[in-house]
Amino acid sequence: MYGRRASQLLRELAACEAGQLTAFNSDTFEQVIRECNEHNLQLQSLIRKIEDANLDIQTTRNEDHFGAVIHHLSLLRNKRCLMAYMYNRAELIQSLRWKIGPVLPQEIQEKLNYSEEEYFKNHSAAIESYMSELDLDLTVDMVPPKDPYIRVKVLDDIGELCLGDHAISLTQHSLHFIKRTDAEPFISQGLMEEFLE
């Protein structure tokens, strides 16, 4: 059926848990584009057929006209599905910058298409240049803080971290009392957690 394959792409998006990213389905994506080219060829040939019969293309309502209409509609439908696929993924990719930071972990990186990687880099660069202009890190304090300092537990070896005038060693399972703004990127990356008694 026309447009079936394109809708499969979106079914894939709908089936996955909210906020999760699926691997870019380049196979199906390209198949849909090939389908579009096929529709285009068929559409052109039907229009040529009408023109060859010396009929007015504007007013003719014969079998060829409706065949051409169906191919045209299928093209639009496929386009809409492909656009929606890219758009919904792009929305998610944008949110990654705020949740994870400028460097994506390998397992997420693998799920992106080449153009999506570029998009993420450019989006990230745009946010960074804006933040440096403001001289303010917008990605911290996403949850309104109650205290400028928090107690954190380190979940994975991070190494030395320079905080203002002194350095602390962040080894696994160690507890620290540090500035919330310093801890926040590590927490969002899953390297630390807030330690609650």
User: Residue written as tokens 């899953």?
Assistant: 190
Is 71 a residue that touches another protein (CB under 8 A)? yes
Residue 44 or 171 with smaller CB distance to another protein: 44
Is 68 a residue that touches another protein (CB under 8 A)? yes
Minimum distance of another protein from residue 46's CB (angstroms): 5
Is 64 a residue that touches another protein (CB under 8 A)? yes
Minimum distance of another protein from residue 11's CB (angstroms): 6
Write down how long the chain is: 197
Site for another protein, residues 12 to 41, rule: CB under 8 A: 13-14
160: helix, coil or strand? strand
Q: Report in angstroms the alpha-carbon separations of 185 from 66, 119, 141, 191, 196.
A: 58, 22, 10, 9, 18
Q: Nearest Cα to 29, choosing from 78, 72, 71? A: 78
Size of the site for another protein (CB under 8 A): 30
Contact segment (CB under 8 A) with another protein among 10-18, 95-103, 141-149, 155-163 equals 10-18
Residue 4: how many CA atoms within 13 Å on its side-chain side?
A: 2
| Residues contacting 5, CB < 8 A, separation 6+ | 28, 31, 32, 35
The residues of the shown chain that bind another protein, judged by CB under 8 A, are 1-4, 7, 10-11, 13-14, 42, 45-46, 61, 63-64, 66-71, 73-74, 77, 80-81, 83-84, 87-88
